Amino acid sequence: MAIEHGAIEHGTGLADAFARDPVPAAAGIGLRHTHYCDFLNGRPATAWIEVHSENYLCPGGPRLATLEAIRRDYPLSCHGVGLSLGSAEGLDTAHLALLRSLFDRFEPGLVSEHVSWSTTGGDYLNDLLPLPYTEEALGTLVRNIGQAQDALGRTILIENPSSYVTFAESAIPEWEFCVEAARRSGCGLLLDVNNIHVSASNHGYDAQDFIDAIPGELVGEIHVAGHADTEWDGRPVLIDDHGSTVKEAVWDLLDAALARVGPKPVLMEWDLDLPPLGILLGEAARAQAALDRLGAEPRILDDVA
């Protein structure tokens, strides 16, 4: 699927009005079109919202107007799915320019992308594909993050992906790969605890090992989401589908992550079979309860410089 490029029109004074509202260390939800009317007709009780950046790379129209109206009431995070940070071919400069225009207009407090690739030979693959965890791939990722941050004029966060296959060439644990990419590039981490659980289950490692390796000062945001329990060739396979409530194992992992890294913005993601807004807000309330508990419990101090 090709990503259409076109100029984004700027409203007068919007960036000054939004002024990079910081995203608070509280629970937020993803804004999806199904719930536009709920937000336009009221002010749902969420601390912040997140959108997929590529859904708003349009020259104008009702979608941008809706985001503009809702953005006035909430801090905003923009989460990308199309940069292909792991691509050996480098980044699409036209796509970067569109993202820069979007961010300059809406001034999100956080901007994030995935540790994955999705482009080859000029074609765009509609998926977030895993990288081999090698020094060569790490160098490519760091170079592309640097290009993105220079073009966007801001620090980004990179998210650990969910995965279903691994590469025989991989020589670096995923958590070390992500941390080293952040350190070398100066970006931050978006810690997706559902993805950690899914990948750990699919590949047979301990999710706690991933959490224990993450320096808290690198983490700028956390995601939770639902996943599907499936089976392939007689063995269980978890699919990161964002189509249900969060499983108990993921809530437990959120508690472990917060104990490790401290209070951070926590997003409840739901993209498939969207429920009524009240159900989504209920899941976010449970994430907020995990944050609230953190204030009454001792934090595990980072031992990683």
Pair of tokens at residue 5: 């490029």
In this structure, is residue 8 part of a structural domain? no
CB 111 within 8 A of CB 144: no
Tell me what percent of the residues of the chain surpass a pLDDT of 70: 89
pLDDT band at 297 (very low <50, low <70, confident <90, very high): low
The set of residues, in sequence order, having a beta carbon less than 8 Å from that of 6 and lying 6+ positions away, is 57, 58, 59, 98
CB 10 within 8 A of CB 101: yes
Q: What is the 3-state secondary structure (H, E, C) of 106-131?
A: HCCCEEEEECCEEEECCEEEEEEECC
Average pLDDT, the chain: 88
CB 117 within 8 A of CB 60: no
pLDDT band at 181 (very low <50, low <70, confident <90, very high): very high
Pair of tokens at residue 120: 């080859």
In this structure, is residue 2 part of a structural domain? no
Mean predicted confidence (pLDDT) in 244-250: 93
Structural domain for 123, as ranges: 14-294
E strand or H helix that includes residue 230:
strand 228-232
In this structure, is residue 42 part of a structural domain? yes
In this structure, is residue 3 part of a structural domain? no
Tell me what percent of the residues of the chain surpass a pLDDT of 90: 70
Predicted structure pTM score: 0.88
- Flag the least confident range among 3-12, 144-153, 192-201: 3-12
* Nearest residue to 20 (alpha-carbon basis) of 113, 179, 155: 155
CA distance 19 to 104: 10
In this structure, is residue 9 part of a structural domain? no
Per-residue pLDDT at 154? 97
pLDDT band at 18 (very low <50, low <70, confident <90, very high): low
Residue 48 has pLDDT above 70, yes or no: yes
Domain count, the chain: 1
Q: Which CATH number characterizes residue 181's domain?
A: 3.20.20.150
Mean predicted confidence (pLDDT) in 37-57: 97
Mean predicted confidence (pLDDT) in 142-169: 92
Residue with tokens 């941390």: 179
The identity of residue 167, as a single letter, is: F
CA distance 65 to 194: 32
Per-residue pLDDT at 201? 84
Residue 142 has pLDDT above 90, yes or no: yes
Mean predicted confidence (pLDDT) in 187-196: 97
Per-residue pLDDT at 20? 65
Cα 261–chain centre separation:
17
CB 176 within 8 A of CB 165: no
* Nearest residue to 14 (alpha-carbon basis) of 101, 95, 99: 101
In this structure, is residue 53 part of a structural domain? yes
Question: Is 126 in a helix, a strand, or coil?
Answer: strand
In this structure, is residue 27 part of a structural domain? yes
* Residue 174, CA distances (Å) to 124, 143, 161, 255, 295 in order: 24, 18, 9, 21, 30
Sign of CA dihedral 188, 193, 197, 198: negative
In this structure, is residue 90 part of a structural domain? yes
Residue 212 has pLDDT above 80, yes or no: yes
CA distance 205 to 298: 27
- Flag the least confident range among 4-18, 22-36, 112-126: 4-18
Q: What is the pLDDT of residues 64-119, one digit of tens each?
A: 999 999 999 999 999 999 999 999 999 999 999 999 999 999 999 999 999 987 77
Residue 300 has pLDDT above 80, yes or no: no
